[in-house]
Structure 1
Amino acid sequence: MRKIAFLMPALLLAACSQPPAPAEPAADAPPPMTGATPAEAAASTTPDAAAAPQAAAEQAEADGSNARARIDSVLGDAAQYEKVFNAFKTAVVGGDRAAVVEEVHFPLNIAGGRKITGPGEFQRNYESIITPAVVKAVSEQDFGKVFVNQQGVMIGDGQVWLNGQCLDAACTRTDVKVVTIQ
């Protein structure tokens, strides 16, 4: 009992004390983690603050600058990818077999893990390679909305892939072509 009486004033003092004020963050400290993305945090504080980035993202997607920027950062030379994409799309949609072959890198990977070794073999198997599903995917694909990763630029749901082949040891020059058709 004597011990409790001894601790009683300290406990009462602790119960009545105010908690210390939180320290002010340093001017260059990052904002506290909230679990929300920056866009969600902006939307929860000011609706107009979230609308501006969203509108910019939608405009960038509409004009294709997001895909171009991603290609430039991941693969390099978006203009070369866009040129090959447009030439391939025009050739496939127009049924111009010779022009399609010009945009293909050999050996070409095709469905089932097979490889087409050259233009002659490609021409002989054209209908089984450039199927109606491939034509549809290519014709409906907008360059500004292509999927991009380290393996290249994907058309459709993976029916066609474009990628660059290094032309020199430092890979400062590349030749972008179709590398896979599935």
Structure 2
Amino acid sequence: MSRLSAALLLAGAMLLATTPLAGRAFAQSENEVYNRIEELHGDAAGFDRPLRQLVQAMRAGDAETIAGLAEYPLTVKANGETYDIENAEDFVDNFDDLVTSETRRAVGRQQYQDLFVSSEGVMLANGAVWMSAVCDDNACEESHWAIIAINN
């Protein structure tokens, strides 16, 4: 291998190691995920319960529980269309069209250590669902975890 090829290979490896998606290519621990959530969003401990509720509800096809975990208006991409769901009732009434069986299965199998965390939120099932801490007041002293997008 030439010196130039070796240098380019090393530079590429260094670039890959510094990109946000690099962590997805390597195994990460639950502690690393927890710490990343805490670092970027705070209240990592508060994320556990809504995450578990969502995973269980997706397994069971429990539209009411999933609707209760969402922040409205909720953007849902399904069937090649983008929908702005205004409330939980609309979500429940249209659940089968808004959340595909593939998305339900993928989120239902979500493992904590496989979550991807960015400044936008926490990604489940390779982007099928995004959750984030949503501010409850203008100062954002109080917040709650909610589904902020579904991308079938």
TM range (shorter): 0.7 to 0.9
Larger Rg: 1
Per-residue CA distance 1:70-128 (angstroms, 9 max, x = gap): 00001111112221111111111112222111111111111133210011211121001
| Paired position in structure 1 for 2:85 | 116
Q: What secondary structure does 2:127 align onto?
A: coil
Structure 1: tracts of 5 or more residues without a match: 1-34, 38-56
Q: Secondary structure at the match of 1:141?
A: coil
Secondary structure, counterpart of 1:162 in structure 2? strand
The Cα shift of 1:137 comes to 1.5
Q: Is 1:135–2:104 an aligned residue pair?
A: yes
The corresponding residue for 1:81 is: 47
Structure 2 CA distance, aligned partners of 1:170 and 1:114?
29
Question: What is the TM-score normalised by the length of structure 2?
Answer: 0.76
Alpha-carbon RMSD across the aligned residues, in angstroms, is 2.0
Which of residues 66, 89, 92 in structure 2 aligns to 1:100?
A: 66
Equivalent pair of 1:81/1:162 in contact (CA under 8 Å): no
Runs of at least 4 residues off by over 3 Å? none
Gaps of 5+ in 2: 1-10, 15-25
What are the Cα deviations for residues 8-64 of structure 1, in whole angstroms up to 9, with x where unaligned? xxxxxxxxxxxxxxxxxxxxxxxxxxx897xxxxxxxxxxxxxxxxxxx96x61xx1
How many percent identity over aligned positions?
Answer: 25
Corresponding residue number in structure 1 for 2:142 = 173
